[in-house]
Amino acid sequence: MTSPANAPSTYSPDPALDLVLQRVVDVPPSLVWRAWTEPELLKPWFTPKPWSTVDCEIDLRPGGIFKVVMQSPEGKTFAHPGCYLEVVPRERLVWTSALLPGYRPNLTDSEADGGAFPFTCILTLEPNGAGTKYTAIALHGDPSTKTKHEAMGFHDGWSTALDQLVEHVRRIG
């Protein structure tokens, strides 16, 4: 499940292309990891309310599927398939919406998919006392895509989802 030996273990965000959410949360990395890697634990928190995540598929290995289906308050669903690039248990997940399982290019029409756009997420979890230093970096292919993601509410949305994750895992912990 790990990445190739020559893969970089750290990434320095490019402010022109990347969005970063970094916080320390008061739950251990093992619970945050489970919330990101077990479909039934991911669905309750992943999408900021009033939206919901109604389906999730995870094949936790490089080349495996990471797919969520989000539902709007009006009942419209949006599937967001992707592919894991790197899996380091309880430490690091890297996935992209630019590729489908098996590293196949994602040729979805972005306008038909609710205005979706390709990006890659680097998620790192580091022990911090009894909690976790949580870092999510969204990498974009060009400045306009980064700006669009930011305008859609990246910081508020991902921060709200993280709050929902923490609340959820406290109940299962």
Residue 123: its H or E element: strand 120-128
Tokens of 113: 């998919």
Separation of CA 68 from chain center: 10
Residues paired with 22 in a beta bridge: 135
The CA distances from residue 104 to 52, 86, 100, 108, in Å, are 27, 16, 5, 12
Question: Would residue 128 count as lying in a domain?
Answer: yes
Residue 56 lies in a domain: yes
Which residues are CB-neighbours of 31 under 8 A, at least 6 positions away?
Answer: 169, 172, 173
In a domain, residue 3? The reply is no
111 phi and psi angles, rounded to 5 deg: -70, -35
Query: How many domains are contained in the chain?
Result: 1
Residue 29 lies in a domain: yes
Residue 34 located in a structural domain: yes
Question: Whole-angstrom Cα distance, residue 122 to residue 30?
Answer: 17
Closest CA to 55 of 44, 63, 64: 44
CATH number of the domain bearing residue 102: 3.30.530.20
Give the three-class secondary structure for 35: helix
Asked whether residue 127 is domain-assigned, the answer is yes
The amino acid at 143: P
Residue 165, both tokens: 């994750």
CB-based contacts of 23, cutoff 8 Å, min separation 6: 133, 134, 159, 162
Domain assignment of residue 6, yes or no? no
Containing domain of residue 133, as a range?
18-172
pLDDT for 172: 84
152 in any annotated domain: yes
In the numeric block, the tokens 């990395």 are attached to: 29
- pLDDT for res 110: 53
Candidates 20, 4, 16, 7; CA nearest to 162 is 20
What's residue 114's pLDDT? 52
Regions of the chain short of the pLDDT cut 70: 1-9, 109-115
At 10 the pLDDT is 75
